[in-house]
Structure 1
Amino acid sequence: MKQRKKRRGNYGIDAPIVVRNLSLIGAGLLLLGAGAIVTFSGRLQWLGKVVGLVCLISFLILAAEVLYMIWSSKVGKFRERERLLDLVAIRGDEKVLDVGCGRGLVLNAAARRLTTGRAVGVDIWNKQDQSGNDPDATRRNAVIEGVAERVEIVDGDARNMPFADNEFDVVVSSLAIHNIPGSEERFRAITEMMRVLKPGGRFAVLDFQHVREYADAFEQLGAADVRIIGPHWLMFPPVRIVTGRKETERNGSLIHHL
């Protein structure tokens, strides 16, 4: 019997403004180069050729970056999210939090790995960070992927999340924390992740900026086994992942969770 192919939601283009601007700059350079070749003649013909060649090379570099970013959004990030979730070793009965869940790329993939557990996504829905970023889009993707009954979506800022202490078994985040301006504010977000994570709980944060800063913050807050994994080139810009766990407190002392 032929197995039905799983449906996949629409998770948009990451950094759509960057993709648009690079495309416009590239097109402008191509036109500038063509104009220089046509304009300069006679003794200055060589100058037109040089300008045209420089513009052409610049256009090709920008075009390659745009295509890489689109491939990253349509293919690479799906592979990278699985790596991220593999690192937190979801069993199926956990309560998982995705900080900055966007349209649900990691959130819904986590929900697919759950049986009796639940996946919660929190976001402020900034459309500059991802095209079509909206909670309704996240809900539609959860329905498309057949995990809506295991998914909950919450409006909230990563620096002040509306959750109780020690509420989640697993906390993950992908391409979200770097959007918070200022190291002190990013530290607040890391602090909140540790606050809502249960003792013994696992975390994994994927990003292309400030990754060492995140790792240092987790260690400062008492996390155990903090590692930086990567870089990985399936996404553009290349990303790294910070992993670790919150230690378990027993009899007034911190011990490793077994």
Structure 2
Amino acid sequence: MSNTSLRRGRYGVDGPGWLLALGGGVVAPLAAVAAGGPRWLLRIPPVLAVPAGLYLHATVRGKFLVWEEQLDALDLRGDERILDLGCGRGAVLTAVARRVPKGRVTGVDIWRTVDQSGNNQQAAAGNAEREQVADQVDLVTADMRQLPLGDDQFDVVVSSMAIHNITSARGREEAVREAYRVLKPGGRLLIADIFHARRYLDILLAAGAVNTSCTDAGPRMWWSGPWIPTLLVSAEKPAAHPGDDDRDGTQQS
């Protein structure tokens, strides 16, 4: 278990443009009234202050609290291989790396700053250093729709607030299928995302996933309010059964 107050990394904010827009909606009317504008503009800041505050809390504290709980619940042994899709500056990447001191964690991203402020590979590497997990982490620049990774490689695949940034439904489906492809039999997939999460569950069920669920992360990950909640999608790839392969490793007919 890890205490979020001990974080050493610098993780920026998610969707900085949205946060700027909400913050601007609070400040701009006040500035306009101060410059002689109509006083009815004073009605706007209180309306936007709460959504802006909820968004800020979600990105600087709430998501960390939720992920700490989710990662603790995985009850990891400490030697697993784990993949973080859309790892950004490494908030989840480093949190899971602390839990697998004998394992490896791979982070994949295309490093777009529109998705996260200051998002680049150097920032992720720097945070891994600050969190003292750099020796356990590999960073890969790649599109999550076409992972340069083999089948059945990872014990756990995680993704936080990343897949929704793919604009097309087909692209999001490809990303979810890729996440499932690289998961080992018996492995666990955990996605935290908005807007399309229930569709991810449908894709995983169609691919053969078991022990699936889709739950609401709650107010700590409301992106301005309950109208943009974070949903947690969890699924397993069925474990291989004895007898599926014969003794020389070839599949039985």
Say whether residues 1:169 and 2:155 are aligned partners.
Answer: yes
Aligned to 1:77: 63
User: 2:122 aligns to what?
Assistant: 136
- What's the CA shift string for 1:26-80, capped at 9, x where partnerless? 333334566224xxxxxxxxxxxxxx1xx33321121222222222222112101
TM superposition score normalised by structure 1: 0.85
Unpaired runs of at least 5, structure 2: 224-228, 246-253
Counterpart check, 1:212 vs 2:203? no
Contact 1:166–1:199 (CA under 8 A) maintained in structure 2: yes
1:248 aligns with 2:239: yes
Alignment-mate amino acid for residue 129 of structure 2: V
What residue is the counterpart of 1:48 in the other structure? none
Work out the CA distance in 1 between the residues paired with 2:220 and 2:12. Answer: 16
* Shift of residue 87, structure 1, vs aligned partner: 4.0
CA distance in 2, matches of 1:94, 1:141: 21
- What does residue 30 of structure 1 align with? 30
Instruction: Report the alpha carbon displacement of residue 252 of structure 1 after superposing the two structures with TM.
Output: 4.4
Percent identity of paired positions between Structure 1 and Structure 2: 40
Amino acid at match of 1:142: A
Superposition map of 1:1-258 within 5 A = 6-32=6-32, 35-37=37-39, 52=40, 55-237=41-223, 238-250=229-241, 251-252=243-244
Aligned residue for 1:44?
none
CA deviations 1:102-124 (Å, max 9, x no partner) are: 00000000000012111110000
Q: Give the Cα separation in 2 of the matches to 1:24 and 1:104.
A: 28
The secondary structure found in structure 1 opposite 2:220 is coil
Question: Contact conserved, 1:98 with 1:106, CA < 8 A, in 2?
Answer: yes
Q: Secondary structure at the residue paired with 1:35?
A: coil
Task: Name the SS for the 1:249 alignment partner.
Answer: coil
- Is the contact between residue 161 and residue 194 of structure 2 (CA under 8 Å) also seen in structure 1? yes
SS at match of 1:11: coil
Give the unaligned 5+ runs of structure 1: 38-51, 254-258
> What amino acid does structure 1 have at the position aligned with 2:24?
L
Q: Deviations over 1:167-194 (max 9, x none)?
A: 1110000000000112111110011011
Please tell me whether the aligned partners of residues 223 and 245 of structure 1 are also in contact (alpha carbons under 8 angstroms): yes
Larger Rg, first or second structure (1 or 2): 1
Normalized against structure 2, the TM-score is what?
0.86
What is the alpha-carbon distance in structure 2 between the residues aligned to residue 116 and residue 159 of structure 1?
A: 29
The one-letter amino acid paired with 1:24 is G
* Counterpart secondary structure, 1:234: helix
**Does the Cα contact within 8 Å between 2:66 and 2:217 map onto a contact in 1?**
no
> Over aligned residue pairs, what C-alpha RMSD do you find?
1.8
Task: Please give the alpha-carbon distance, in whole angstroms, between the structure 1 residues aligned to 2:72 and 2:231.
Answer: 14
- The 1:87/1:240 distance shift into structure 2, 3 A limit, reads farther
